[in-house]
Amino acid sequence: MGKPNVVVSAKKNTGNSNPNRIVGFLQKWGLPAVLLGPFLILITIFFIAPVVLIVILAFTNMDSSMVWDLNGLLNFKKMASDPNLSEIMLNTVFYVTLTLSLNIFLGLSLALLTTYFIKQESVGLIIRTIWMLPRISPPVVYILLWLWFFDPSEYGVLNSLRMIFDMPPANFLADQPMTAIVLANGLIGASYGMIIFSAAIKSIPGDLFMAARVDGAAERSIIFDIIIPAVKWPLMFVTLWQLLSLLTSYEYILLLTKGGPLFETEVLALYSYHKAFQSFEYGYGSAVALVLVVIALICTFIFWRIFGMDKMIKSSRIE
């Protein structure tokens, strides 16, 4: 009985409302709605909804039947007794730390090389473009080249080269799988830092370098006392950005070693993928992904508060 009353009263209200109020509302909110609306919808569909879904799925035992059956904390209990999880966590730490170091070191070295040491702009540009090539080629093609290079049979590039020197075929991907994935990811990831650092170095006023030279500063001193402090914030930003993307990316590992041999290159993000899309344990896979989300949030918090990332947003210190 209540429902029709509500409808009636709603109708009454609408009927009584002043059309000017609607016009006023539209005038105030129309344009912001048009400008922000599509983005809000996209953010909701692609950013917020997946996180909400992962959180809900993590508490279900959804398998290949794709039925939403809540099972409380069972997935997390299962994770606690999963014999592989400690090794996978350790792999994740190794993989992220080593790749990140290689990324940042290479990115900074390349930026220094192409903007500071090589004075000719066109040469620096060519080097940077070459380094960007793998970034613009599809991951599958990039990894196929590595697979071909490391192939354990005598048909692989590395082993063909070894055969010239009468060395037996090596199985690098089986013996040193972590090195292989760090190399493959580190080399391609360096281009991102390279671009950001190059821009930052270029924005340092030339007077500083001139003054340093007049004062007789060594190259080492110029790099460590002028350039590095000037790119401190981009360095911090690239580190955090790369850290988060390394934590959650797994496509190069999947294509190169599939997480193997055994679990030697299985990282948390890949384990989540394997559980969800290979064993069809969508619930368990989501629980692993949820742990990953929490780890990523903790890392962001640490960078934001402890390393003072929030200060980065303030205006540039070089004017």
Partner 1 sequence: MRKSLTAVLTSAIVLSSVLAGCSNSENKPAGAANAGGGADGKELQVITLSAQTTGIEKTRVDNLVKAAVVLNEELKTQGKNMEVKLETKSFDGSWDDSLKQFMLASKSNKAPDIFAIGHESIGMLAKGKYILPLDSLKESKEYADLFPILWDSVTFQGQIWGIPQDTEARPVFYNKGILKKLGWTDQQINELPEKVKQGEFTLDDMTKVAEEAKAKGAAEFGIVHRPTNGPDFQALAYNFGAELYDAAQNKIIFDKKAVEKQLQYYYDIAQKKLIPDNLTTMEFKNVHKIVVNEKALFYYGGIWNVNNWAADAYHDQIGKVDAKWVNERMGMMLIPAAEKGGKPVTLSHPIVYTVSSGTKHQDLVNRLLELVVDPKLQTEHNLKTFHLPITKAAADDPNFKADVTLGGVAYMSEYTTFLPNHESFNKYSGSVFKAIQAVELGKQTPAEALKDLETQLKNDLGDELIIKN
Binding-site ranges for partner 1 (CB under 8 A) = 23, 26-27, 30-31, 33-34, 37-38, 41, 63-67, 78, 81-84, 147, 151-153, 155, 171, 173-174, 257, 260-263, 277-280
Cβ-in-10-Å burial (0-12, 13-18, 19+) of 138 comes to exposed
Which DSSP category does 310 fall into?
G
User: In the complex, what is the shortest distance from the CB of residue 269 to partner 1, in angstroms, rounded to a whole number?
Assistant: 18
Q: Which of 94, 263 has the CB closer to partner 1? A: 263
- Choose between 47 and 117: whose C-beta lies nearer to partner 1: 47
Shorter beta-carbon distance to partner 1: residue 37 or 72: 37
Shortest distance in whole angstroms from residue 159 CB to partner 1? 11
Reported as type and span, the H/E element at residue 25 is helix 19-43
CB of 111 to partner 1, least distance (A): 36
Of 15 and 83, CB closest to partner 1: 83
Helix (H) or strand (E) holding 179: helix 177-202
CA distances, 154 to each of 18, 174, 184, 263 (Å): 83, 15, 21, 25
Q: Which is nearer to partner 1, 8 or 48 (CB)?
A: 48
b/e sequence 168-207, b meaning 16+ C-beta within 10 Å: ebebbbeeebbebbbbbbbbbbbbbbbbbbbebbeebeee
DSSP reduced 3-state for 60: strand
**Which amino acid is residue 315, in one-letter code?**
S
Minimal distance in Å, beta carbon 69 to partner 1?
13
Shortest distance, CB of residue 15 to partner 1, whole angstroms? 21
Q: Name the token pair of 51.
A: 């996180």
Report the C-alpha gap between 296 and 300 in whole angstroms. Answer: 6
Q: What are phi and psi of 60, to 5 degrees?
A: -120, 165
The CB-of-35 to partner 1 minimum distance in angstroms stands at 9
Our CB check for partner 1 shows the closer of 16 and 27 to be 27
Q: How far is the CB of 257 from partner 1 (least distance, A)?
A: 8
Radius of gyration of the chain measured on its C-alpha atoms: 27
Q: How far apart are CA 253 and CA 270, in angstroms?
A: 8
Q: Which is nearer to partner 1, 261 or 308 (CB)?
A: 261
Which DSSP symbol is given to 156? S
